[in-house]
Amino acid sequence: METQKSYKKVFLLLFVLLIAFFLVNISLGSVAIPLKDIFASFFGGDVSKSSWEYIITQYRVPKAITAILVGSGLGAAGLFMQTLFRNPLAGPFVLGLSSGASLGVAFLILGAGAFGGFLSNALVSEWSLVLASAFGSFLVLLAVLAVTFRVKDTMAILIIGLMFGSVTSAVVAVLSYFTNAEKLQQYVFWSFGSLGNQSWNGVLILTICVLVGLFIAFFSVKSLNALLLGENYAKSLGVQLKRTTLLIIFSTSILAGAITAFAGPIAFIGLAVPHITRQWVTTSNHRVLLPAVLLLGAIVMLICDSIAQIPFSEYTLPINAITSLVGAPVVIWLLVRKKKLLF
Amino acid sequence: MASENQHSVLKVTNLSIGYSHKKKDTVVAQNLSFELNKGELIGMVGANGIGKSTLLRTLTGMQKPLAGTISILGKKLEEYHPLELASLLSVVFTEAPASKNLSVLEFVSLGRQPYTNWMGTLTPNDKEKIDWALEITDTQKLSQRKCFELSDGQLQRVAIARALAQDTPIIILDEPTTHLDLYHRAYVLKLLKKLTKETEKIILFSTHEIDLAIQLSDKIGVLTTDAFYFDQPCKLIEEGKFNALFPEDIILFDAKTGRFTIKD
């Protein structure tokens, strides 16, 4: 696909913004830490207070990296789904992927609780959480795809996504009836969504998952561009539709599943970030669009997380609430101002 | 094979088209045989629902034939790798591109996909082909416009440019004249005519514009409920085949003017 404009400046700006917001995100929190000390703790210099160094390296940096991974991953997942379903309203949350992931996690946490004792502790490890949630989102995506083969209607697909959301909450309600309060609390806190409290080990697992998901998608960039023309055109251009679709679904499930496992169901990032990106980067070429979405997704998530921290206070808001507060108005604004959402 | 027509590119033998559903075949048309030669403009006409689209879908490999064979350059259609086929046959569908946010340049350059590397990088040769396609369809000025900003006539020209960029010896168009006014219908068909003469491409299109097709096509395929006729338009007129197109209660084909008129 030919793209005449050069987007070097946009990428440079996005990159600078990413670094800036990364540093801002780390310096803000219940205690404000000056930039000087942040750099000192990065490069092994003298930090004014030893507790600061601990806060930065063990809490804030893992959290900021998680934010970057979550924002980039969900943004990319949203972009892929909008192209795959050729639907501007598609996104991991809207289509019920996050619900599917939640269901997987609910079965794991609450179901394991029902089995009781020894088994439950063994089951709920970081990896099993990732697997359960990726599997849940994979199943939902397959179901949605099966529906799109039969119904070509945009609305129907979105309604199916909503239905999965309802089914999830119903199943969770049933499961919670049979579990103890402790497990239920664990699930409820997970479902609020949180970027913090990640161990370095957890961050590593999340990084691997996101990289694997993006790696698969990276090889589908050309086919994704062809899909912009519609299925028939893509086929006539020699694209192997089934293989491409499966690869993209696989990539999206890993991204959305792993992220949901670690950070809880996070709304609107997947839907809104690709649209915000398209306001700046006016091409539809995924070779340009995907990196821009990755950068912008990371920036938006860092901002949301900084707000959720409520700087200089001890309160932390659920990240899911902030992304909804930021994301929903953006989507409404795009619909009202631009009259239409394009993908 | 060599003793046969050397210009023959696409050959259809005893083709049956239709849908196979749960072991039950629904035949739409059968015993279709025809041959397409280099540089020919071919129109396919037929009443609504007679199977023009099914035939085109079968010819482009989107749908499997129930019986018979389609071969391109002596090799059966189903034996081609999708990418190989994409370099021989391009299609212009009735539908607009799914993403209206594509710019004209992006839309046309996607025609180069069968030839580009895994990242879709365009070589100078690709860009040359794209420029040529834009120029011959007179769409260079539109190249930076988005698809949603185009009129139906412009969009059709751009869609043809995309097929030209794909650089295939055969182009198949599904009803390229729908939604267009008379001027643009004639414009599009004349453009196709010009392309067949200048590039030696085979261009096959389905249409409801029977009078325009008669004036411009080298050969016409007439799909009726009972039979399929394929010949030069003047011969089809002589033999009175066009009257078989529709029930004869309201309109009749006038052999002198080459068009349908309302029955008194």
Structural domains in chain B? 1-88+169-182+201-264 (3.40.50.300), 94-167 (no CATH)
In a domain, A1, yes or no: no
In a domain, A85, yes or no: yes
Q: Please name the helix (run of DSSP H) or strand (run of DSSP E) that holds residue B70, with its range, or none.
A: strand B67-72
CB within 8 Å: A83 and B99: yes
Cα–Cα nearest to A14, from A292, A331, A303: A292
Model ipTM over 0.85: yes
The yes-or-no verdict on residue A5 having pLDDT over 70 is no
- The domain of A256 spans 8-338
pLDDT of residue B1: 44
pLDDT of residue A154: 63
The yes-or-no verdict on residue B215 having pLDDT over 90 is yes
Cα–Cα nearest to A193, from A48, A63, A21: A63
Residue of A nearest to B127 (CA): A2
Rounded Cα distance between B12 and B21, Å, is 23
In a domain, A3, yes or no: no
**pLDDT tens-digit profile of A52-79?**
888 888 888 999 999 999 999 999 999 9
Contacts of B185-188 with CB under 8 Å at 24 or more apart are B185/B209, B185/B212, B186/B212, B187/B153, B188/B153, B188/B156, B188/B157, B188/B160
pLDDT of residue A152: 67
Q: Please name the helix (run of DSSP H) or strand (run of DSSP E) that holds residue B43, with its range, or none.
A: strand B41-46
Paired with B43 in beta bridges are B205, B220
Q: What percent of chain B has pLDDT over 90?
A: 72
Taking chain A, what is the end-to-end CA distance rounded to the nearest angstrom?
16
Burial B179-215 (b: 16+ CB within 10 A, else e): ebeeebbbbbbebbbebbeebebbbbbbbebbebbbb
Nearest-CA distance B147 → chain A (Å):
11
Q: Which residues of A touch B86 (CB under 8 A)?
A: 236-238
The yes-or-no verdict on residue A134 having pLDDT over 90 is no
In a domain, A284, yes or no: yes
More confident residue, B125 or A171: B125
Residue of A nearest to B83 (CA): A238
Mean pLDDT of chain B: 91
User: Dihedral through CA A74, CA A77, CA A79, CA A85, nearest 10?
Assistant: -140
Rounded mean pLDDT of B117-127?
92
In a domain, A2, yes or no: no
Give me the total of CB pairs closer than 8 Å, taking one residue from chain A and one from chain B. 101
| Nearest by CB: B91 against A2, A226, A236 | A236
Strand locations in B129-191 (E): 170-173
In a domain, A218, yes or no: yes
CB within 8 Å: B95 and A222: no
Q: Which two tokens stand for residue A123?
A: 């089951």
CB within 8 Å: B111 and A237: yes
| Nearest by CB: A228 against B82, B102, B114 | B102
The yes-or-no verdict on residue A341 having pLDDT over 80 is no
Task: Give how far Cα A272 sits from Cα of A76, A142, B122, Å.
Answer: 11, 23, 30
Residue of A nearest to B91 (CA): A236
Domain count within chain A: 1
CB within 8 Å: B106 and A285: yes
Q: Which residues of B touch A343 (CB under 8 A)?
A: 99, 101
The yes-or-no verdict on residue A159 having pLDDT over 50 is yes
Which of the 8 DSSP states describes residue B147?
G
With 0-12 / 13-18 / 19 or more C-beta atoms within 10 angstroms meaning exposed / middle / buried, residue A220 is buried
Domain with residue A251: its CATH number is 1.10.3470.10
Q: Which residues of A touch B113 (CB under 8 A)?
A: 222, 225-226, 237-239
Residue of B nearest to A288 (CA): B119
Q: Minimum mean pLDDT among A20-29, A312-321, A333-342: which range?
A: A333-342
Rounded mean pLDDT of A123-133?
75
SS3 A143: helix
Taking chain B, what is the end-to-end CA distance rounded to the nearest angstrom?
52
When pLDDT is cut at 50, 70 and 90, the band that residue A340 belongs to is low
In a domain, A29, yes or no: yes
When pLDDT is cut at 50, 70 and 90, the band that residue A116 belongs to is low
